Amino acid sequence: MPILFGIFVTFCLWFAYESSKHSRASQKRYQEMLKREYDAQMARKKDISSLPKISIPKNLPMNDTNDAYLNSIYNDIHKLETKDIINFTGYTNTDLKLMYGASNLSYLSECDNNFTKLAITLNKWANYLYKHDNVHDCKTILEYAVSINIDITNIYILLANIYISENKAHKINSLIKKASKLNSSISTSIVDKLNVLKEI
């Protein structure tokens, strides 16, 4: 019985120590987060006129059609053509405020939201074309999406499969290189999936 009691006491002491250590670490992270957010709120407004904006090319395959779904996509693309689009994937609002000043956040967030809308629209468009056997136009959309660093796994995998079907599997290497440089939490996952396809 004394032995069991000793083990119990030891466990309680260890648990209390670990809990205290975790609490201190959490408190430190919280304080660091608060300081970072405070610094971000105080950050001076910076000139953002030279930030690289994304242009939607005029040669995307928007052919005359009676297909309501495609016309809806074309309409979404045309709306985005008049918007400022910037890719801020991987950056938080705090990051943006620290880099460009808090007063620029609203505009920068709008630019990033436009990029997200473009990414989603291109992915839907490419999927629809592929399912309707329009591989040529699908590939055009996908290659444009990759060129502007969209981080949607399906875009890379679908394009890789098209390259394989064209006996151009060597082009997957360029997709791997592109995906590895994405400022995204899923960059490694995309690269791993592409490497698997390359070995098939």
> For the chain, what are the domain ranges?
1-42, 47-199
Residues found in the chain: 200
* DSSP classification of residue 170: G
Determine contact, residues 73/56, Cβ cutoff 8 Å. Answer: no
CA distance 177 to 191: 8
Gap between the Cα atoms of 105 and 95, Å rounded: 10
pLDDT of residue 45: 84
Residue linked to tokens 């939607």: 56
pLDDT value, residue 105: 94
- Give the pLDDT of residue 107: 97
Average confidence (pLDDT) over 134-151: 98
Q: Is residue 51 pLDDT above 70, yes or no?
A: yes
Per residue in 68-127, pLDDT (tens digit) is 999 999 999 999 999 999 999 999 999 999 999 999 999 999 999 999 999 999 999 999
3-state helix, strand, coil split of the chain in percent (to 5) is 70, 0, 30
pTM: 0.83
Across 144-159, average pLDDT: 98
Report which of 140, 151, 164 is spatially closest to residue 191, judged by C-alpha positions: 151
**190 and 182 Cβ atoms separated by less than 8 Å:** yes
